[in-house]
Amino acid sequence: MSEVFISVDVETDGPIPGQNSMLSIGAAAFLEDRTMLGTFSMNLQTLVGAVADEDTATWWKTQPEAWNACRQDIQDPSDVMVKFNVWVREMCTPKTGDVLHKPVFVGYPAGFDFLFVYWYLVKFTGHSPFSFSALDIKTYAMAVMDCGYRDVNKKSMKRFAEPNLKHTHVAVDDAIEQGYLFLNLLKWRRESR
């Protein structure tokens, strides 16, 4: 069974799901050879009873373009997560051949993005196509670059970044950027063996 790397980025109004809301989810599906199979991007209504975190709200005021982007065409979280589940399944169903692809959640940091996505998937669809696991780009980079975890950041990984992609805090843009970053790390590791 081959793998499809689903690079996911979320924008939120606070640090934890349930108490805070996911505002936007963006994803890009890749094969290891850098083929991008497709993208997913939707904005979500805030959860009933959830409250925006004060520090996060202050940060959003410094990002007016990204804030505006994640508040356009907002949709019911249940509908969004059902559509996301369908999209992941479509990305893992090959157009030709009979080999089913297995989805691998990829995030930076995966501990944050996966927390929200997993919580929303289980709450609104009853399950996660990623099971209980996620691949963290920072952890992978630590192993590939043979350095300390705290030494891994965007600056130390600059040589693996795509020069024409920027981190915009628009979820789908960041998912694409991070997906290529991971694939470049993966390629470098495979070639250096």
Domains detected in the chain: 3-192 (3.30.420.10)
Kind plus residue range of the DSSP H or E element containing 85: helix 77-91
Task: Specify the length of the chain in residues.
Answer: 193
pLDDT at residue 154 in the model: 85
Is the pLDDT score of 30 beyond 80?
Answer: yes
Is the pLDDT score of 1 beyond 60?
Answer: no
pTM for the full predicted model:
0.94
Is the pLDDT score of 34 beyond 80?
Answer: yes
Q: pLDDT (tens digit, 9 = 90+) per residue, 128-177? A: 999 999 999 999 999 999 999 999 998 899 989 988 988 899 999 999 99
Three-class secondary structure of residue 29 per DSSP: strand
Residues 6+ apart with CB under 8 A from 49: none
Query: For 107-125, b where at least 16 C-beta lie within 10 A, e where not — what string?
Result: bbebebbbbbbbbbbeebb
Q: What is the mean pLDDT of residues 53-64?
A: 98
DSSP state of 12: E
| CA–CA dist 20, 36 (Å, integer) | 31
The letter for the amino acid at 178 is Q
